[in-house]
Amino acid sequence: MIGYYILIGAIALVSWLVSSKLKSKFDEYSHVHLRNGLSGAEIAQQMLNDHGIYDVRVISTPGQLTDHYNPTDKTVNLSESVYNQRNASAAAVSAHECGHAVQHATAYNMLQLRSQLVPIVNVSSTLSQWLIFGGLILGAASGFVFGFYIAVIGLVLMAIATAFGFITLPVEYDASNRALAWLKNKNMLSQQEYAGAEDALKWAARTYVVAAIGALASLLYWALQVFGGSREE
């Protein structure tokens, strides 16, 4: 168990470092004001229009770094600092979220797969560790093979959540690539502004990479506990 806490601590530290770097990058590029004078909301609307998407609304949402695309109600939700601002960070985020809208409109297969897994992951991420803990405790206390199978079910659920994290990676990278391609092809940003937007999106993507690696490390740790313990018995 001590090894697990060390693992979680190391993952949390790396995640914090990447998140801190991301926030500093967005703060840095929020001071790079756009020559075209467009706000994040205006950039988002123009990107949607250029892709022939007219059934998606661009709305403002409270908070910081709370930006997301909701495929259920077809809304691009931009945080207040992105929706109203006219800088490289706002341009990067708004175009990225519209990249998800373009994925949805073009039936991008990885986005479809990710969306199909959301209901399952909502359940599996909550139950997996409880089942693993319960199975290991039951097996240790009574020696029942039943406990082992409960733990294995928990591992399967954890594996689904882990797979979800890795499926998210191409979805996020593809959205960023679509955003940057549009910004460049439409000459929306100057060279300095584009470089800032590109760097900001790279750091945003790295947060998903860290999360996926962390989930995989946790899965492997618990797999060793479950199957290692069963062999010792």
Residues 6+ apart with CB under 8 A from 50: 182, 186
Residue 92, C-beta contacts closer than 8 angstroms, at least 6 positions apart: 29, 179, 196, 197, 198, 200, 201
Helical ranges in 38-144 per DSSP H: 40-50, 80-83, 88-105, 109-142
Q: Which residue has the tokens 């949805």?
A: 104
Structure tokens at 26: 């967005």
Distance in angstroms (rounded) separating the CA atoms of residues 95 and 91: 6
Which has the closest alpha carbon to 205: 183, 172, 171? 172
Chain-centre distance for alpha carbon 209: 8
Decide: 78 and 61 in contact? Cβ < 8 Å.
Answer: yes
Active site residue 97: yes
**How far from 65 is each of 49, 57, 68, CA to CA, in Å?**
24, 19, 9
Q: Which residues contact 99 (CB under 8 A, 6 or more apart)?
A: 174, 175, 176, 177, 178, 179, 182
Q: Given 28, 42, 80, 97, which residue is catalytic?
A: 97
Residue type, 31: H
Residues marked active site are found at: 97
